[in-house]
Structure 1
């Protein structure tokens, strides 16, 4: 089973470079709250945001994919469903951005102290996930999958360009 961030009250997550995290104020992504996938630029870094709905989210490192939980009994079979979806031709291009290094995925509204405390305490439920990416330009693509009639996930994958 994956580690999931509980659904956000503010309907957006941010993938924050670790080096910018100590100065994160929790208001930087306010302008993109209604976008499913967006990016903002801060201190020379692209920051990926996932928003528009307060869905739980997880990071799947091997397929470089974020999964958001619409509905499901559990996440058993998620990884195999994502692997199957990788070859689907229904992926929609959303945006391109420059990423690379160590990041933290968290509720965009959380201030730095809360995120750092969560990472130090390794608390459950988790409020932040660590993400590491090789440097480069990435295309973000979205796809909704329904592995069965009672299961739906929204995926955002990062494709190296």
Structure 2
């Protein structure tokens, strides 16, 4: 049985940032304004790639085994998500977004939060950040909208390792 997913259900800015943990103290929250209008993109911050997910203020989670971020568009619950992700991983329908260089420890949180606010989120309930560890390497960020059943729809962004 898989562990329950941790969903972030708060974003006033309608965007989430996947920030390298060591850069959190210098993040002001204003950096992601240039990423407006995109559902998934990346920006450079102090020489590092920061993945930005958004476009709509949807709940988001990280599925580590699949290297997938999922945003809940519509569903009664998330029971169909993991089977839907497993099916999607074999699909050739993914849309290429951007190539990024990632590796290490990250936090996924509201892109509009500043570093001081982010550092205070570790024990907030409901959660406002998810800790993510990503193996070092180059990745192709890809997007896909899935409908694992007639009542469920999720936006997926996956990190596809590049040779």
Q: TM-score range by the shorter chain?
A: over 0.9
Give the equivalent residue in structure 2 for 1:140.
Answer: 141
Following TM superposition, the consecutive aligned residue runs of length 4 or more in structure 1 with deviations greater than 3 angstroms are: none
Distance 1:60 1:135 in 2: 17
Give the drift of 1:52: 1.0
Stretch of structure 1 that moved more, 38-47 or 3-12 = 3-12
Distance 2:45 2:114 in 1: 15
Distance 2:144 2:117 in 1: 31
Distance 2:114 2:45 in 1: 15
2:36 aligned with 1:13:
no
The match for 2:92 among 89, 109, 133 is 89
Give the equivalent residue in structure 1 for 2:161.
Answer: 160
TM-score calculated relative to the size of structure 2: 0.94
TM-score calculated relative to the size of structure 1: 0.96
Give the equivalent residue in structure 1 for 2:79.
Answer: 76
User: Contact conserved, 1:143 with 1:156, CA < 8 A, in 2?
Assistant: yes
Secondary structure in structure 2 of the residue aligned to 1:98: strand
Structure 1: stretches of 5+ with no match in the other structure:
none
The match for 1:55 among 49, 55, 58 is 58
Structure 2: stretches of 5+ with no match in the other structure:
none
**1:2-39 deviation digits (Å, cap 9, x = unpaired):** 11001422111110000100111111111112111111
User: Contact conserved, 1:14 with 1:106, CA < 8 A, in 2?
Assistant: yes
Instruction: Report how many residues are paired.
Output: 159
The match for 2:42 among 39, 42, 55 is 39
Alpha-carbon RMSD: 0.9
Distance 1:105 1:78 in 2: 19
The match for 1:109 among 89, 109, 112 is 112
